[in-house]
Chain A
Amino acid sequence: MKLSDFIVADAVIPELKAGTKEEAIREMVGSLCRAGQIAAEHEQTIVSAIMKREELGSTGIGRGVAVPHTKHSSVGSLIATVALSSSGLDFASLDGENVYILFLLVSPPDRPGDHLRGLETITRHLKSDDFCRFLRQSRTREAIVDLLKEVDDQAGS
């Protein structure tokens, strides 16, 4: 699986306006909605489901990264977006550090394997210090999308 298989380029956010976890999740789901990947009528339900999931345990996994996610029957395949926060967000992460890189995933309930493969693909790249550094240095949507494409190509070669 490649990042570009499920990350919606038009929904990528190079600098979050959000100052809190909930605002960030709302902004990212809204971006997927504006990109035409989530129907407006499901936007609030999806935000609520992701927040409920966060209450059961933060998806801040360390290294300044969080992967908020949920299942929702309105999506036909795994979709995701990436967002950056240069000032960092308090995500109640496992390591107690702020979050600067967010990958938000929404997957169909009947495709748990796709969700796991998406997480595997994201975290495999996040293990690379270079990838994390270049991602955090990206200032535009185009730069982020180009970087994702570049690591996809490297992984496929």
Chain B
Amino acid sequence: MRIKLEKRHEPSLAMLVATPIASVILTMLIGIVVFDLLGINGFEAVVDIFLSPLLYSYKWQDVALKAAPLIIIALGLSMGNRAQVWNIGAEGQYVIGALCCAGMGIAFGQTGGFLVVLLMIAAGIVGGGLWAAVPAWLRTKYNVNEILSSLMLTYVSFQVLGYLVGGPWKDPNGRNFPATAPLADAQTLPVWPESTVHLGVLVALILPFVFWVIMARSEFGYQVRVVGSSATAARHGGFDSKRTIWATMIIGGAMAGLAGGLEFAGVLHKIDLGFASGYGFTAIIVAFLGRLNPFGCLIAGIVLAVTYVGGQMAQTSVHIPNSTAGIFQAMMLFFILASDILVRYRIRLIPSAKAAGV
């Protein structure tokens, strides 16, 4: 018996939608069994991790805050991935974006207001974009693998952050703790009354539509898809693949920078050594979970945020250790990645007489 893969002409739409849902359900089922084996009430744990954050309306804002940066970063990354550009340094671009946003805020001192906040967010976008431009430049000029260069630059960015918050930007009234001074109220993002939901959540809800229009309706979106499908086709179509690399890398970085700026100006209001909390890496998972589709990213971002919030709830309710939430996320991703094959290929089982050479 041999498994044979047949490439589909078009990715299967049914599978595209069905497999992520199946992955989540499968993860839940396995979770119930595994937890029971570990002596924890599996059903309650899984309900807490996957459903409680959705069932209780007062948890929605936590989910929204967690989902917003994931969605925004994943949108940018999935556009790059569509063009076969693999930026995995979003975490670093997120950090640099936040630092630029903070730097702009510091430059204005205590002055705030709409324009200043706008400039701060713009600085975040530009900073993230520029940090991503380095791997783009290295790739187009020297043919440097952007996976490796963007990853390395992420670790450089952590040190930039460490240097700034422990040195020049250290809060003079902060008792020497390595952190920036808290942002002046006038420099923070507007927040929905009676909640902690900031403007960035709205941005995260609007951007999927923008990206969908770009990808599905614009010339540029077409170009991205063609370059991604094959370099030869792109040449025949008269598209410059270098330009696409530049554009998608920078957009990816700009989105990560935007997310970093929003997180800084909307939620944290200061930068310390714990600022980089993995959104940039998790967003890669979100992009895949969302099948590189803008609306998919929106839903996947929410799903991941639910497991984060739920994982923490489950710690207090059924006392699962914190590490298990990570195992769940990895498991979900494993399933989704495994099922990817069903989207692109048809699987045939062929009875065979000892496959030759394999």
- Bound together: no
Give me the interface of A with B, judged by CB distance under 8 Å.
none
